[in-house]
């Protein structure tokens, strides 16, 4: 029985393992969010004394504290004093939530935060996708969800 030979289709070569898509897409290595504080000293105290961050470098303008770095593990946030050019009553953090992932015991972290005077927006709970989370807001209304993968 004779068969027709069809046209051979050219196969597109497979990209080599580890090859980047072209044109290359954006690749970030670090994310450092910055938050504008109505009262920088109050925010520094909240992040340090309530959440457990460590204060890093501080910045001064004409001798006045204007901002700082805060660290928790390998994560860095920036805090800066609001200059109030957009008004003193403007709401901050609207439409934004920072997800903070940890391998530490989430219930212990939440209990320690509450023992240091922090008020959780949501108590620790298991989520349908399997993570355990709790939520908290900083003094200016910036919202955080702490996540422990299960």
pLDDT in tens, the chain (150 residues): 555 555 656 666 666 777 777 888 898 899 999 999 999 999 999 999 999 999 999 999 999 999 999 999 999 999 999 999 989 888 888 899 999 999 999 999 999 999 999 999 999 999 999 999 999 999 999 999 999 988
Amino acid 5: pLDDT: 59
Q: Domain map of the chain by residue range?
A: 34-83+96-148
User: Cβ(119)–Cβ(125) under 8 Å?
Assistant: no
Amino acid 53: pLDDT: 98
CATH top class, domain 34-83+96-148: alpha beta
Amino acid 19: pLDDT: 76
Q: How many CB atoms lie within 10 A of CB 62?
A: 5
Amino acid 3: pLDDT: 56
Residues 6+ apart with CB under 8 A from 118: 46, 50, 51, 136
- Burial of residue 10 (CB within 10 Å: 0-12, 13-18, 19+) is exposed
What's the pTM value of the predicted model, to 2 decimals? 0.82
Amino acid 20: pLDDT: 73
């Amino acid at each position: 029985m004779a068969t027709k030979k069809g046209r051979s289709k050219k196969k597109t070569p497979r990209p080599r393992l580890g090859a980047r898509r072209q044109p290359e897409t954006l690749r970030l290595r670090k994310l450092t969010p910055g938050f504008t504080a109505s009262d920088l000293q109050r925010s520094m105290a909240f992040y340090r004394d309530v959440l457990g961050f460590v204060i890093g470098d501080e910045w001064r303008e004409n001798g006045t504290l204007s901002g700082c770095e805060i660290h928790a593990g390998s994560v860095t946030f920036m805090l800066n004093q609001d200059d109030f050019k957009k008004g003193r009553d403007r709401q901050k953090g609207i439409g934004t939530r920072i997800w903070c992932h940890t391998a530490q015991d989430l219930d212990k972290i939440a209990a320690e935060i509450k023992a240091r005077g922090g008020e959780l927006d949501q108590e620790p709970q298991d989520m349908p996708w399997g993570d355990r989370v709790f939520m908290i807001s900083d003094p200016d209304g910036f919202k955080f969800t702490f996540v422990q993968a299960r």
